[in-house]
Each structure stands twice: as C-alpha cells, then as structure tokens.
C-alpha cells in the first residue's frame, strides 16, 4: 500500500490570488483538508466573501488587522455579527456559509495560516458579499 505523503515549504509553495483578493500560498493538503498561507499587504482590505461548502480555521502569524464575520439565518433575529482584532497568536473559525472580510491595519503585511475543511474545491466556492469596509484589492479567479 502506498501512503500519500505531502511536504511543502512556504518558499516553494504555489502562489495564487484568492477570490477575496488576498495572496495565497498553497501548502500541504489531503482530500479531507488543505492548508494555505494567506497574506494581505499593509493598508489593504479584502473583498467580503462567503464560502458555499467549506469551513476554515485561521491562525495569525504576523501583522495586525481586523476580521469581520457575519452569520445569517432565515430568521433575522438569529443573525450574529462580529469584528475581531487580528494579531499574532489569534486563531479563529469561519464556518461554512459565514460571510467574512479582513483588512491589514498595521505597517506590515498581515499573514495567517489557514486550514480548509474539506479541501478547497476550486472555482465557484466563494460568493461575493456585502461587508463593512470598501475593498482595496482586485478579486482573484473563481469569485461568483
């Protein structure tokens, strides 16, 4: 039996534009989950998006910023909205269907490592959403 091992160095990772306009370096993954390194330049604001089928867990490794998240149900009374400060050491979840937007508020780029569960399925996963801030980046491929 062959065991599918994956090893990826950040310096060797494939770099792509995320649908929200951040820069993504694709790290190791499995069918059940994938990992990526996200960056957003100092002073930049992503596009607000909502994922259709995946959840994410982020861990901030450098920089400063803010993350807005909003969960809405058919009953407006169940809507939850929150802005959290992003600093090194902060971990947060983005459940499937939750709208989110983030921005880099410090003097350096904001960087986070994220795990996507299940693995990122490709184009048409992220839907544009209204967020609290005006985006300052261009959308990457696959945004619907």
Residue 60: the pLDDT is 98
Distance (Å, rounded) from C-alpha 103 to C-alpha 34?
A: 23
The CATH number of 28-121, from 3.90.550.10, 3.40.718.10, 2.60.120.10, 2.130.10.10, is: 2.60.120.10
Instruction: List the domain boundaries for the chain.
Output: 28-121
Mean pLDDT of each 10-residue bin along the chain, 144 residues long: 78 92 94 95 97 97 98 68 97 96 97 96 92 96 87
For residue 92, CA distances in Å to 2, 24, 47, 59 come to 35, 18, 18, 7
pLDDT computed for residue 144 by the predictor: 84
Rounded Cα–Cα distance for residues 65 and 9 (Å): 25
Instruction: Report the pLDDT value the prediction gives residue 82, as an integer from 0 to 100.
Output: 92
Give the pLDDT score at 44: 98
pLDDT reported for residue 77? 62
Query: What pLDDT, on a 0 to 100 scale, did the predictor assign at position 123?
Result: 85
Predicted local distance difference test score (pLDDT) of residue 142: 86
């Amino acid at each position: 039996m062959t065991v599918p091992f994956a090893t990826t160095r950040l310096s060797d990772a494939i770099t792509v534009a995320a649908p929200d306009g951040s820069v993504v370096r694709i790290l190791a993954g499995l069918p059940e989950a994938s990992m990526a390194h996200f960056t957003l330049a100092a002073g930049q604001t992503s596009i607000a998006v909502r994922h259709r089928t995946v959840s994410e867990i982020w861990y901030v490794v450098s920089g400063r910023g803010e993350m807005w998240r909003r969960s809405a149900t058919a009953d407006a009374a169940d809507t939850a909205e929150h802005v959290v400060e992003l600093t090194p050491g902060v971990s947060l979840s983005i459940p499937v269907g939750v709208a989110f937007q983030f921005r880099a508020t410090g003097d350096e780029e904001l960087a986070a490592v994220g795990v996507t569960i299940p693995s990122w399925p490709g184009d048409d996963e992220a839907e544009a959403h209204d967020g609290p801030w005006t985006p300052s980046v261009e959308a990457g491929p696959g945004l619907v």
